[in-house]
Amino acid sequence: MEQDWKDELDDLLKESGSRSRDTIPVLHKVQERFGHVPPEALPTIARRLHVSESELYGVLSFYKAFSLRPKDAHTISVCLGTACHVRGGEQIIQELENALGISAGKSTADGLFTLETVNCLGCCAIGPVMVVDGVTQARITPQAARELLARIRAGEKKS
């Protein structure tokens, strides 16, 4: 099974660039294919791109879009950039932390939710902004965030 995984990675990398400037596009392809960037893939990716593993870790830890572990069923990202913060982003986070029983940067024990904060989503005019499973929720309120969680949970129970 592990060899299949490595073969799949090798095939993916053959279709990708091989210079350091290709780092972000390659990492995006790997994450798209595997759902995260597996830490055990970093030596292979580093060799392909002619960069060090520490450089890859630097990129992966700097950009919130990348993850070194599989994400939970639903990922919630709340913007805390200046515009979102002054419009109530912090209250959104507090509401979600209370409703989920976790702090930002953590996942629920049932593997249903990951809660993250980001510094800017580039949607300042429609803040505060929350992204749930890749879908942007504009002008979100604490009550709207709570209601969205309830709808997601209700949908999970039907599945």
Q: Which domains does the chain have, with CATH numbers?
A: 2-62 (no CATH), 74-158 (3.40.30.10)
Phi, psi dihedral angles at 134 (to 5 degrees): 85, 0
Cα 10–13–18 angle (5° rounding)? Answer: 135
Query: What is the rounded distance in angstroms from the CA atom of residue 128 to the CA atom of residue 73?
Result: 23
The amino acid at 73: A
8 A C-beta contact, residue 117 and residue 78: yes
What pLDDT digit, counting tens, does each position of 39-60 carry?
999 999 999 899 999 999 999 8
pLDDT at 157: 64
Residue with tokens 């997601």: 152
Query: What is the rounded distance in angstroms from the CA atom of residue 33 to the CA atom of residue 13?
Result: 11
The first and second tokens of residue 83, run together, are: 């515009």
Q: Which parts of the chain sit beneath pLDDT 70?
A: 1-3, 157-159
pTM (global) more than 0.75: no
